[in-house]
């Protein structure tokens, strides 16, 4: 599904979900897109996600808390196991994403940062 701030789809060639974010997402848009990613993951019986957040402006404080305490535990229980993140260019979003990643149990969810989508695809397909 594509909106003005996100495009979320299943990459059939690579068998993973791709999320492309750009601009500023409201809390509603962020949660809606993130839940859509999880539903796409479950529907396609996948465990891997490519998150291209280069152009995403910011994940707000409340949404960071929701992601950490609500979404990620549910997603991991549903089979979410690996994510390759294309690093954001916006400084405050870099800080937000690193803060969330720091708290993730790496035994349950493998997180890898990449500089571009090509590296992200390669990591998801070889690890």
CATH code for position 20: 3.30.750.24
Residue 66 in any domain: the answer is yes
CA-CA distance, 120 to 27, in Å (whole number)? 26
CA dihedral (105, 13, 23, 81) in degrees, to 10, reads: -10
Range of the domain at 98: 6-126
pTM check: above 0.95: no
Residue 1 in any domain: the answer is no
pLDDT in tens, the chain (127 residues): 888 999 999 999 999 999 999 999 999 999 999 999 999 999 999 999 999 999 999 899 999 999 999 999 999 999 999 999 999 998 888 888 888 888 888 899 999 999 999 999 999 999 7
What is the DSSP-derived secondary structure letter of residue 107? T
3 to 21, 48, 66, 83, 92: CA distances (angstroms): 9, 22, 22, 22, 23
Instruction: Report how many domains make up the chain.
Output: 1
Residue 64 in any domain: the answer is yes
């Amino acid at each position: 599904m594509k909106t003005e701030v996100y495009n979320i789809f299943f990459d059939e060639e690579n068998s993973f979900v791709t999320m492309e974010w750009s601009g500023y997402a409201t809390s509603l848009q962020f949660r809606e897109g993130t839940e859509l990613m999880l539903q796409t993951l479950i529907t396609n019986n996948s465990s891997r996600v490519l998150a291209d957040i280069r152009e995403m402006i910011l994940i707000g404080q409340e949404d960071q808390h929701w992601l950490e305490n609500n979404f990620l535990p549910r997603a991991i229980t549903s089979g979410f196991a690996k994510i390759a993140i294309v690093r954001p260019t916006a400084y405050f979003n870099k800080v937000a994403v690193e803060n969330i990643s720091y708290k993730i149990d790496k035994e349950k969810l493998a997180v890898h940062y990449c500089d571009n989508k090509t590296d992200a695809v390669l990591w998801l397909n070889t690890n």
